[in-house]
Amino acid sequence: MSVFVVPRTIQVSDATSNDKPHMKRFDNRTVIITGGARGMGASHARGFIAEGANVVIADVLEQEGRTLAEELGDHAIFSRLDVTSEEDWAATVAAAEKAFGPVSVLINNAGIVRFAPIEKTELAIWHQVLEINLTGSYLGIRAVVSSMRKAGGGAIVNISSAGGMMAYPNNAAYVASKWGARGLTKTAALELGRDNIRVNSVHPGPVRTPMTAGPDAAAAVAAEARHLAIPRVAEPDEITRLVLFVASDEAAFSTGSEFIADGGVLLGPALQHARAEAAAA
Ligand code: NAD
């Protein structure tokens, strides 16, 4: 059987055009963003709203999530979601459909990080990181697929990390979860492509968010950023722009792929740094 799905018309917003109303990239589409209450998730919520979407901010942080939804107006709601809970997922998808209609986009963004060498990583911490960062995304994909079929297709973006492409010390559970996100992404992409559902992963380098504000993380991120080809920490909206692209019809032929915005982390910062020092000597 041959399957040929014509993508919806690609509409690129043009802020300079003011002659007639133009379509935005996500007009009337229902978007669920996990971990949407703060950090990069909140930035993604603002970005999708600006592109015409109806956004469900799904998070365990009720107060922050509700406050953000109120600020964003009628096109945003908050749904309390613990990504490790099947019941919460069912309730969130139902709330999304009730408020805005079938789900077109899922951003699996919720995540946590815990720092310790493997020998000192408690089993409970290992499980917690894997449950939220990896199992949460699997549950999310499972929960939205039938809704996306009703919408005629959709896009799922799993937020991995540069740590899903390389190793970081003292971070085994996180790194394993982020490599796992790539495997999940690729398998889901294979299974869902013929339903017109694309599944991709996004791999940020260091980004300024509450996750990287704690003392351990802030020190690790600052040290990493110093050695990058682009030697700084990114702002959340720099990742949001990539997420919007990957989720939009502009990326209609991309599935099962990795999209990287890492300031050059994967170029091999240590070697690069050493050579730069040698050249300067
Ligand atoms: P953050 O800590 O600021 O935000 C994470 C959000 O996830 C929070 O709102 C939190 O409440 C939510 N969350 C945590 N556990 C949850 C659960 N069980 N159910 C639902 N929501 C839950 O972090 P961030 O930096 O904005 O990170 C967002 C994503 O980007 C994460 O997946 C993270 O691993 C990834 N990432 C971050 C960086 C970085 O440098 N900040 C780099 C690469 C990848």
For residue 10, the model assigns a pLDDT of: 45
Instruction: Give the pLDDT means over successive 10-residue stretches in the chain (281 positions).
Output: 47 50 92 98 98 99 98 98 99 98 99 96 98 99 98 98 96 98 98 98 97 88 90 97 98 98 87 66 75
Domain assignment present for 246: yes
Residue 36 placed within a domain: yes
Instruction: Spot the catalytic one: 174, 192, 207, 212.
Output: 174
Q: How far apart are CA 55 and CA 30, in angstroms?
A: 6
CATH number of the structural domain spanning residue 160: 3.40.50.720
**So what's the pLDDT on residue 20?**
57
pLDDT for 219 equals 87
The pLDDT of residue 15 is 47
Asked whether residue 77 is assigned to any structural domain, the reply reads yes
Ligand 1-lining residues (CB < 6 angstroms)? 34-35, 37-41, 59-61, 81-84, 109-112, 132, 159, 161, 204, 206-207, 209-212, 221
Token duo for residue 18: 């003011």
Is there a domain that residue 187 lies in?
yes
Determine, yes or no, domain membership for 223: yes
Q: What is the pTM of this model?
A: 0.92
What is the predicted pLDDT for the residue at 74?
98
Q: Which residues of 209-244 are buried (b: 16+ CB within 10 A; e: fewer)?
A: bebbeeeebeebbeebbebbeeeebbebebbbebbb
Counting the structural domains of the chain, the total is: 1
Look at residues 277, 268, 204, 251 and name the one whose alpha carbon lies nearest to residue 105: 251
Establish if 17 belongs to a structural domain: no
* Res 274: pLDDT: 62
> What is the Å distance from ligand 1's center to 203 Cα?
13
What pLDDT score was predicted for residue 276? 63
Full residue range of the structural domain in which residue 199 is found? 30-280
Q: Return d(Cα 105, Cα 102) in angstroms, integer.
A: 9
